[in-house]
């Protein structure tokens, strides 16, 4: 029976096209995300051929945002959030103000009203959660001080946008014919004014947060614990997902908080449970799939010809997003006496706009605050700023490596980057200082062997440096980080991280830098062993095989014991 299945068609087309375009992008050494955006353009209404359901795609993308923010919450403690408030709160507010003014100026130049200019400016001032988090995760910056500042900044922007979304209808209603347009039933019923709506919103946010901190903090870990004890993996996964989605959705429906913020708090509450690490792992694959759909759905909204039709307003918008906004953020962070590297990284991660801007633009157009041309400019600005973002990061990496003075030995980790090339020669490079790497590293340390470690967690790096062990912070798969370990002069490289694809990238780069270096890597399956060997690893130790070997040894030892006991008693018997 033929029937219409728009949801399936959208998911299939979205993921299928993203796969094709992402692979092509990778082939040409462009970040796959550019491929996902192009996949969206291909599936969108402005290009010939298949047209996917835009509304559905946008909703699917929201799922991606929920899962991403949930994951971030899982990494974040309340203390982390509070520890960066001194910079994140004023920084985000000042940056929103500057970007809004820039947008307003541009709007006035184009002959729009002040109201339109404010909406336009606000839309240009908020960065995309997905893009920012992807950039941080890709660079393994999530556990660093800068990563925490960036996430704190994002949360403040998020809160500001929640307020803006509530205030727009109220402002529009006061500007226009006086009919209340606010969507809030409470505000409508009591005929609240602008201040009333604002206060009501703040109260709702406060109630939500209080509820999460008081009830959620106890209830959620308890539920998770209970489910974990049932022993069903499937049920555990389901629980994690259900908690994340229900809280995000409930927060939006009941408290007017954004889905992303709701999910973030859900994650933060789960963090209180010792099972949180597992919970994070469980949501990873889903999260990645839906994050891809986010980029596809953004691409779908874009009309490539709009840029050609009106190039100057487009270029000016892009300039505000990529240059204006970043410079503002840079100045603010430097004013707060954070190092240049931190300032550069934060401004790079904010040099783009995304989902919030679309929501603001849609609402602005619906309320007749913003002309349609404004929405098109915001879309074009988003697409190009997202595409340019990896490039912006590359420029920042380059600038950072030029600007910063060598100061590797300082224990204040995240503030001392970038790392100059090590002075060590004939040394061992140890990648990852977790369960495996720490054992290897401690052994090397005891033998006084020259070595240095690369670790993605800044806590670990700080501890290593306190012990006088040379350690670099960052993702070892990144060329700039690996280069600083001087692989060309090293004797061996031990890759003790669990992720085989990343390990493969490290093997490839190290082998290219030094044909002689002895590379020992870690794997979890035969296929991974082959993969790593194919890329140039000399020895690949498969963890599971070693576990089995240990078990067999124990068994043999047991048998020997039994056998020797048997022999002894036989001897006793014969002697008797």
- Crossing angle for the helix pair 372-403 and 32-43, to the nearest 10 degrees: 170
Burial of 449 (0-12, 13-18, 19+ CB in 10 A): middle
- What is the nearest approach in angstroms of ligand AMP to the Cβ of residue 501? 10
Which tokens in the block code for residue 46? 């402005």
Q: Which C-beta is closer to ligand AMP: that of 225 or that of 435?
A: 435
Which tokens in the block code for residue 319? 């300039």
Q: Which C-beta is closer to ligand AMP: that of 200 or that of 440?
A: 440
Which tokens in the block code for residue 220? 């959620």
Measured between alpha carbons, how far is 6 from 26 in angstroms, rounded to an integer? Answer: 29
Measured between alpha carbons, how far is 208 from 210 in angstroms, rounded to an integer? Answer: 5
- What is the nearest approach in angstroms of ligand AMP to the Cβ of residue 474? 7
State the CB neighbour count (10 A cutoff) for residue 567: 10
Measured between alpha carbons, how far is 280 from 137 in angstroms, rounded to an integer? Answer: 14
* Helix (H) / strand (E) containing 404: none
- What is the nearest approach in angstroms of ligand AMP to the Cβ of residue 470? 14
The answer to whether 45 touches 51, Cβ cutoff 8 Å, is yes
Q: Which C-beta is closer to ligand AMP: that of 142 or that of 170?
A: 142
The answer to whether 67 touches 286, Cβ cutoff 8 Å, is yes
State the CB neighbour count (10 A cutoff) for residue 307: 19
- What is the nearest approach in angstroms of ligand AMP to the Cβ of residue 483? 14
- What is the nearest approach in angstroms of ligand AMP to the Cβ of residue 81? 21
Q: Which C-beta is closer to ligand AMP: that of 197 or that of 497?
A: 497
Which residue, judged by CB position, is nearest to ligand AMP in the bound state?
A: 434
Which tokens in the block code for residue 106? 């541009």
- What is the nearest approach in angstroms of ligand AMP to the Cβ of residue 475? 4
The footprint of ligand AMP on this chain (CB under 6 A) covers a number of residues equal to: 21
**Sheet arrangement for strand 518-523:** 471-473, 451-455, 428-431, 492-495, 518-523, 539-542
Estimate to the nearest angstrom the gap between the alpha carbon of 329 and the chain centroid. 19
Q: Which C-beta is closer to ligand AMP: that of 434 or that of 450?
A: 434
Measured between alpha carbons, how far is 390 from 348 in angstroms, rounded to an integer? Answer: 9
- What is the nearest approach in angstroms of ligand AMP to the Cβ of residue 461? 9
- What is the nearest approach in angstroms of ligand AMP to the Cβ of residue 485? 11
Q: Which residue from 291, 225, 347 is spatially nearest to 18, judged by alpha carbons? A: 291
Q: Which residue from 533, 552, 536 is spatially nearest to 544, judged by alpha carbons? A: 552
Helix (H, G, I), strand (E, B) or coil at 388: helix
Burial of 211 (0-12, 13-18, 19+ CB in 10 A): middle
- What is the nearest approach in angstroms of ligand AMP to the Cβ of residue 550? 17
Helix (H, G, I), strand (E, B) or coil at 493: strand
Binding mask 78-117 for ligand AMP (x = CB under 6 A): ----------------------------------------
CA distances from 277 to 74, 240, 248, 273, 549 (A): 8, 11, 20, 9, 28
Q: Which C-beta is closer to ligand AMP: that of 204 or that of 287?
A: 287
- What is the nearest approach in angstroms of ligand AMP to the Cβ of residue 328? 32
- What is the nearest approach in angstroms of ligand AMP to the Cβ of residue 541? 12
CA distances from 467 to 270, 368, 462, 551 (A): 33, 62, 9, 34
Give, as ranges, the residues between 140 and 169 that touch ligand AMP (CB under 6 A). 140
Give, as ranges, the residues between 303 and 332 that touch ligand AMP (CB under 6 A). none
| 8-state DSSP, 45 | T
Binding mask 415-454 for ligand AMP (x = CB under 6 A): ----------------xxxxxxx----------------x
Q: Which C-beta is closer to ligand AMP: that of 143 or that of 376?
A: 143
Q: Which C-beta is closer to ligand AMP: that of 132 or that of 440?
A: 440
Estimate to the nearest angstrom the gap between the alpha carbon of 15 and the chain centroid. 20
Q: Which C-beta is closer to ligand AMP: that of 455 or that of 470?
A: 455
Q: Which C-beta is closer to ligand AMP: that of 309 or that of 435?
A: 435
Q: Which C-beta is closer to ligand AMP: that of 140 or that of 287?
A: 140
Q: Which C-beta is closer to ligand AMP: that of 107 or that of 472?
A: 472
Give, as ranges, the residues between 454 and 513 that touch ligand AMP (CB under 6 A). 454-457, 460, 475-477, 496-499, 502
127 scored as a contact of ligand AMP (CB under 6 A): no
- What is the nearest approach in angstroms of ligand AMP to the Cβ of residue 506? 7
Instruction: Provide the binding-site residues for ligand AMP, judged by CB under 6 A.
Output: 140, 431-437, 454-457, 460, 475-477, 496-499, 502
């Amino acid at each position: 029976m033929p029937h219409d299945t728009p949801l399936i068609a959208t998911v299939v087309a979205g993921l299928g096209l993203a796969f094709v375009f992402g692979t092509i992008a990778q082939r040409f050494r462009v970040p796959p995300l550019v491929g996902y955006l192009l996949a969206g353009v291909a599936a969108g209404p402005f290009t010939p051929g298949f047209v996917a359901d835009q509304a559905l795609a946008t909703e699917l993308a929201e799922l991606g945002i929920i899962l991403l923010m949930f994951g971030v919450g899982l990494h974040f403690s309340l203390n982390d959030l509070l520890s960066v408030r001194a910079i994140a709160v004023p920084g985000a507010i000042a940056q929103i103000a500057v970007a809004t003014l820039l947008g307003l100026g541009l709007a006035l130049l184009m002959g729009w009203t002040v109201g339109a200019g404010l909406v336009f400016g606000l839309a240009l001032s908020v960065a995309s959660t997905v893009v920012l988090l992807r950039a941080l995760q890709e660079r393994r910056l999530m556990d660093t001080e800068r990563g925490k500042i960036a996430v704190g900044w994002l949360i403040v922007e998020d809160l500001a946008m929640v307020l803006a979304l509530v205030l727009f209808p109220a402002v529009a209603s006061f500007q226009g014919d006086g009919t209340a347009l606010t969507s809030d039933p409470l505000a409508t019923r009591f005929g609240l004014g602008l201040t009333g709506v604002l206060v009501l919103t703040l109260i709702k946010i406060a109630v939500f947060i209080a509820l999460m901190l008081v009830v959620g903090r106890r209830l959620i870990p308890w539920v998770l614990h209970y489910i974990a004890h049932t022993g069903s993996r499937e049920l555990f996964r389901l629980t994690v997902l259900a908690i994340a989605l229900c809280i995000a959705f409930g927060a939006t429906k009941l408290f007017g908080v954004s889905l992303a913020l709701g999910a973030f708090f859900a994650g933060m509450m789960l963090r209180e449970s010792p099972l949180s690490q597992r919970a994070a792992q469980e949501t990873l694959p889903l999260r990645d799939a839906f994050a891809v759909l986010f980029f596809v759905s953004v691409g779908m909204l874009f009309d490539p010809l709009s840029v050609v039709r009106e190039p100057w307003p487009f270029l000016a918008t892009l300039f505000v997003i990529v240059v204006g906004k970043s410079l503002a953020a840079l100045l603010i962070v430097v004013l707060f006496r954070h190092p240049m590297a931190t300032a550069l990284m934060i401004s790079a991660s904010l040099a783009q706009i995304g989902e919030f801007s679309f929501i603001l633009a849609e609402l602005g157009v619906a309320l007749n605050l913003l002309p349609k041309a404004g929405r098109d400019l915001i879309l074009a600005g988003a697409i190009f700023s997202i595409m340019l973002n990896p490039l912006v990061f590359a420029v920042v990496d380059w600038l950072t490596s030029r600007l910063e003075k060598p100061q590797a030995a300082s224990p204040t980790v995240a503030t001392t980057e970038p790392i100059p090339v090590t002075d060590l020669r004939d040394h061992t490079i140890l990648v990852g200082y977790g369960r495996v790497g720490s054992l290897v590293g401690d052994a090397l340390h005891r033998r006084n062997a020259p070595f240095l470690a690369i670790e993605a967690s800044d806590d670990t790096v700080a501890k290593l440096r306190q012990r006088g062990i040379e350690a670099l912070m960052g993702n070892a798969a990144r060329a700039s980080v690996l280069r600083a370990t001087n692989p060309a002069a090293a004797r061996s490289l031990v890759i003790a991280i669990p992720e085989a694809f990343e390990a493969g990238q490290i093997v490839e780069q190290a082998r290219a830098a030094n044909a002689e270096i002895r590379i020992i890597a870690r794997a979890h399956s035969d296929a991974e062993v082959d993969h790593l060997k194919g890329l140039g690893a000399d020895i690949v130790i498969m963890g599971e095989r070693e576990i089995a070997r240990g078990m067999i040894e124990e068994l043999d030892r047991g048998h020997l014991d039994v056998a020797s006991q048997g022999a002894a008693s036989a001897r006793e018997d014969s002697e008797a």
